[in-house]
Structure 1
Amino acid sequence: MDVFNEGVFLGRAQLPGVQHPSVVTIRDGHIVEITSRAAPTVRDICEMDDPAGYVHSAEGKSAGTLDDVLSNSLGARDSGKPLLLSPIDLQAVKASGVTFVVSLLERVIEEQAKGDPARADILRGDILELIGEDLSALVPGSETAAAVKQRLIERGVWSQYLEVGIGPDAEIFTKCQPMASVGYGADVGLHPDSSWNNPEPEVALVVSSARKIVGATLGNDVNLRDVEGRSALLLGKAKDNNASAALGPFIRLFDGNFSLDAVKQMDIALEVKGEDGFVLKGSSSMSQISREPELLVEAAIGDHHHYPDGLVLYLGTMFAPIQDRDGKGKGFTHHLDDIVTISTPTLGELVNRVRLSTQCAPWTYGPSHLMRDLAKAELL
């Protein structure tokens, strides 16, 4: 991918014969290991004053060509060769919800439909007609938004999703525990109870404990629409399951050539290919987000909530698939073995295969295991 010649990228890989995950970057078409006592984890680099400067100059050694590592990670996943992992380690993994108008409307529809895709199709038209307002132009928490809120309450269609979509407070939730996310080429998991679900193509910001946004990566915030539609109190079950959070392939660190302004203009492409021949394509434009990324970060971290190892924050998506797959009015839902590709020119592409969470590799390597292995390698 040509994009990897343009920026400073940071990630993790499992290298043959090395017990602990290795910190890596990309140079001249190679994956280069830069793990050291000065920075044994990705978290340590992201806490530095100049993460991009450190990665650019850090000493390292080649672990193989980028093409070979990407190919093995996506294909055979031979543990005897380097494999990409999620590019983060000790950071908390958080997500923001209902940050785009299309996502907002779909969440309201989920709630009203109570998990029934056919009823959702009818409600979609009804709610759009009722609102009669360009919600994308509303500033959440503004007087205008408050007036729209009151009008909807009077009509009996106010929703908790509209509250976080145009109200004063953003929705911030925990997507998974530190070190539980999966990376490029890994399987992503659906809870076996779900029969209506979808990918959510997103940008995720990497934030230090000092509240500094240091870079960005791609994410798939796998979502169970039927579970969340039954009750928002089931958000944990809808969002946080084994292998339900994908990130990668790498973090692109902010430097003189890449900044938050570039993130705000990104168009995120999604493609789902099924073994049944079904192809779904969609996109999400960050320019249409209703809450500025900086404000979402402020809602997640501040004097009200500290993260000593920093965090990664999914920014939400405007993509909500309604294309029928298994019959008229049934909308979209995943089939097992779907291949999901999320991409943007400045961050590369994140590719994963869909499985049940019970069929994905179990999460068995956590922070305590990492600390022990780094200590054994005399990196702590």
Structure 2
Amino acid sequence: MRYFRIRGEDGDRLAVQEGDLAYDLTAANRSVGSFRDLAAAASIAGDSIDAVTERLLDRAPTVGTAALEDARRPLDPDEVWAAGVTYEISEQAREAESGMPEMYLDVYEGDRPEIFFKATAGRTVGPGEAIGVREDSDWDVPEPELAMVLYGGEVVGYTVGNDVSSRSIEGENALYLPQAKIYDRCCAVGPGIVSADAVDDPHDLGMSMTITRDGETMYDESTSTGEMVRSCEELASYYTRHNAVPELAVLLTGTSLVPSEEFTLRPGDLVAIDVDGIGRLENPVVTV
């Protein structure tokens, strides 16, 4: 099942898409007003989120699927974390931008993955909202990623993520990574959340990214999550290890596609990321 946050006359509501129909779960039970509420109910019941949803569908009215096209950010994560150097193309790009390339190869080939803090809910935008590039950076890129949604440290769903980054700041010094990664509008997620039960294999999903500027295609490439050198389970394990994780979090699984070194994002660009079976996330670009 695929879950969306939609706009209602009395505020945001949680909807679920099943086949060609969409249902208003909040109308079925007012205590289920968000994906967090649904995940909490499933945790208390010791059941999956889809099983809880099934028990609500008989009472849930249908809504037009057009409402899903105007969906908002699907959740308000307490924290967003990210994994780095999980694809060979990412390892090569990080080596190219850095004066210490060997450390990225060590991470790519090492036992321990790179896991770093990325954003809070206030720094994260949803579909159709503008992602940001720093005014003090002159080389900025989108980073398309499969994103895991975790409740209490357990993977309950998947969405599409964009880990927008300053390559010039990170490349200047590895200790500048937080500034290259964490700032206003530095992350986008959405448009919906697909339950973990509905994803047969997160390591076998096609992924593509297009970047357009003034109607011209500046970048258009595709790959597969099968190219990821780490497993989702491994990344989640390291994220939760010796870490008091928050109730609801997003963990980005690594950069799968990297534009050429000659490319940098500009205000007005439009970035679209597609992950098969998960969704399409589109965001314009502004300077922050």
Question: Same fold judged by TM-score > 0.5?
Answer: yes
Partner of 1:285: 224
Letter of the 1:318 counterpart:
S
Say yes or no: does 1:206 pair with 2:152: no
Quote the offset at 1:158 in angstroms.
5.3
- Structure 1, unaligned runs of 5 or more: 1-7, 74-83, 113-156, 323-329, 358-380
Say yes or no: does 1:94 pair with 2:81: yes
**1:164 maps to which of 82, 86, 107:** 107
- Give the 5 Å matches for 1:142-221: 159-178=102-121, 180-209=123-152, 211-221=153-163
What's the CA shift string for 1:83-141, capped at 9, x where partnerless?
x22112244211101111110011011113xxxxxxxxxxxxxxxxxxxxxxxxxxxxx
Partner of 2:17: 26
Question: Are 1:46 and 1:207, in contact at CA under 8 Å, matched by a contact in 2?
Answer: no
Q: Secondary structure, in 3 states, of the residue corresponding to 2:159?
A: strand
TM-score (norm 1): 0.68
Letter of the 1:166 counterpart:
E
Partner of 2:34: 41
Partner of 2:263: 332
Question: Are 1:182 and 1:243, in contact at CA under 8 Å, matched by a contact in 2?
Answer: yes
Find the aligned partners of 2:194 and 2:263 in 1 and give their Cα distance. 32
Partner of 1:110: 97
Find the aligned partners of 1:305 and 1:268 in 2 and give their Cα distance. 30
Structure 1 residues 264 and 16: alpha-carbon distance in aligned structure 2, compared to 1, 3 A threshold: same
Quote the offset at 1:42 in angstroms.
1.6
Q: Secondary structure, in 3 states, of the residue corresponding to 2:111?
A: coil
Question: Are 1:181 and 1:244, in contact at CA under 8 Å, matched by a contact in 2?
Answer: yes
Question: Are 2:137 and 2:168, in contact at CA under 8 Å, matched by a contact in 1?
Answer: yes
Q: Secondary structure, in 3 states, of the residue corresponding to 1:265?
A: coil
Say yes or no: does 1:234 pair with 2:176: yes
Partner of 2:53: 55
The size of the alignment, in residue pairs, is 279
Q: Secondary structure, in 3 states, of the residue corresponding to 2:75?
A: coil
Structure 1 residues 38 and 354: alpha-carbon distance in aligned structure 2, compared to 1, 3 A threshold: same
Partner of 1:132: none
Question: Are 1:342 and 1:350, in contact at CA under 8 Å, matched by a contact in 2?
Answer: yes
Letter of the 1:34 counterpart:
T
Q: Secondary structure, in 3 states, of the residue corresponding to 1:336?
A: coil
**2:203 maps to which of 251, 259, 264:** 264
Partner of 1:318: 256
Q: Secondary structure, in 3 states, of the residue corresponding to 2:138?
A: coil
Q: Secondary structure, in 3 states, of the residue corresponding to 2:121?
A: coil
- Structure 2, unaligned runs of 5 or more: none
TM-score (norm 2): 0.88
Find the aligned partners of 1:30 and 1:169 in 2 and give their Cα distance. 41
Query: Between Structure 1 and Structure 2, which shows a larger proportion of strand residues?
Result: 2
Structure possessing the higher radius of gyration over alpha carbons:
1
Q: Secondary structure, in 3 states, of the residue corresponding to 1:87?
A: coil
Task: Identify the range of structure 1 (49-58 vs 97-106) with the bigger mean alpha-carbon deviation.
Answer: 49-58
Q: Secondary structure, in 3 states, of the residue corresponding to 1:85?
A: coil
